Amino acid sequence: MRLANKIALITGAGSGMGRSTAVLFASEGAKVAVADLSDQGIRETVAEIKDKGGQAIGLRADVSKSEDVQRMVAATVEQLGPPTVLYNNAGIEGESAYLAKMPEEAFDQVIAINLRGVFLGMKYTIPHMIKAGGGSIINQASIAGLIGVRGGAGYAAAKAGVIAMTRVAAVENGRYNIRVNCICPGAIETPMAVRIRKGVEPRQQAINRISVLERMGRPEEIARMALFLASDEGSFATGAPFIVDGGWTIL
């Protein structure tokens, strides 16, 4: 059990990569706090974990709101104990538009959830993690924070910010035995990906342009990277963006 005796708080755990990670972490012995904005998503993830013999609680939270994040962390501490693993996974795709035509509200929304949400998650969890003697923080970034993506100014800015903030948090908290890393997924087959392409199945030709493996990634493949970073196997990894993109960034 690679996460025995660990307590994991995962945001955006009601679907996609968050759900896959929550289920995997629980199967590896972690007690998991499943946080999401979707009540149905929370119920389904918690039920799947419990059906497989794991331990989990469900917490509804909007990660862009300070009061919600504080309640989420406090509830985790009260019901499970101080988190020793935090996976700031919650995010939205945001509105796609060229920068000069992007509505300010759309830009602000994606920054609030994808960047401010990561900031708040770390801000309110780190003090408890310090008291617990250390832990691992995993932030969800994206290759959009490393390359140019047309129509994604807000999303790319948020994800680049996550990468930068991850490095800062790693520098500041290494002395407390807290490791901070981020994952940069490429094209992963999730409900978000389906929404982006409006339910249309991607053509193989299009997939080949974003993956040298000629396929999209699976949520469980991101979950396995998160498991490595959360476990003691990743004990010397900190301050780094881990790219899991099927080769998109080398094309």
- Express each pLDDT in 12-53 by its tens digit: 999 999 999 999 999 999 999 999 999 999 999 999 999 999
End-to-end CA distance of the chain, in Å? 37
Task: Tell me the pairing of strands 31-36 and 241-244.
Answer: unpaired
pLDDT of residue 201: 80
What confidence tens digit (pLDDT) does each residue in 138-183 have?
A: 999 999 999 999 999 999 999 999 999 999 999 999 999 999 999 9
Q: Which pLDDT does position 195 carry in this prediction? A: 79
Can you tell me whether residue 224 is helix, strand or coil?
helix
For CA atoms 62, 66, 68, 69, the dihedral sign is: positive
User: Domain range holding 158?
Assistant: 7-186+218-250
Alpha-carbon Rg of the chain, whole angstroms? 17
pLDDT-derived band of residue 203, with 50, 70 and 90 as boundaries? Answer: confident
Q: Are 88 and 182 in contact (CB under 8 A)?
A: no
In this prediction, residue 197 carries a pLDDT of 67
Q: Is 155 a catalytic residue?
A: yes
φ/ψ of residue 115, rounded to 5? -115, -55
pLDDT band at 242 (very low <50, low <70, confident <90, very high): very high
Which CATH number belongs to the domain containing residue 97 in this structure? Answer: 3.40.50.720
- The number of CA neighbours under 13 Å toward the Cβ of 103 is 7
Count: domains in the chain: 1
The yes-or-no verdict on residue 196 having pLDDT over 80 is no
Average pLDDT value for the chain: 96
Which tokens in the block code for residue 197? Answer: 């392409």
Sheet holding 135-140, edge to edge: 55-60, 31-36, 7-11, 85-88, 135-140, 178-185, 241-244
Task: Say if residues 15 and 35 touch (Cβ distance below 8 Å).
Answer: no
Q: Are 72 and 4 in contact (CB under 8 A)?
A: no
101 located within any domain:
yes
More confident residue, 206 or 115: 115
Q: Is residue 11 part of a domain?
A: yes
Token duo for residue 127: 């003090």
The closest alpha carbon to 173, from 132, 115, 227, belongs to 132
Task: Report if residue 102 sits inside a domain.
Answer: yes
Whether 201 is covered by a domain: the verdict is no
Residues in the chain: 251
> Domain for residue 229, yes or no?
yes
**Does the pLDDT of residue 200 top 90, yes or no?**
no
Does 40 map to a domain?
Answer: yes
pLDDT on residue 217: 94
Q: How many CB atoms lie within 10 A of CB 171?
A: 12
Please name the helix (run of DSSP H) or strand (run of DSSP E) that holds residue 206, with its range, or none: helix 204-208
**204 inside domain:** no
Is the pTM for the entire model greater than 0.85?
A: yes
39-97 tens-digit pLDDT: 999 999 999 999 999 999 999 999 999 999 999 999 999 999 999 999 999 999 999 99
Q: Where residue 122 falls among pLDDT bands split at 50, 70, 90?
A: very high
Per the domain annotation, does 200 fall within a domain? no
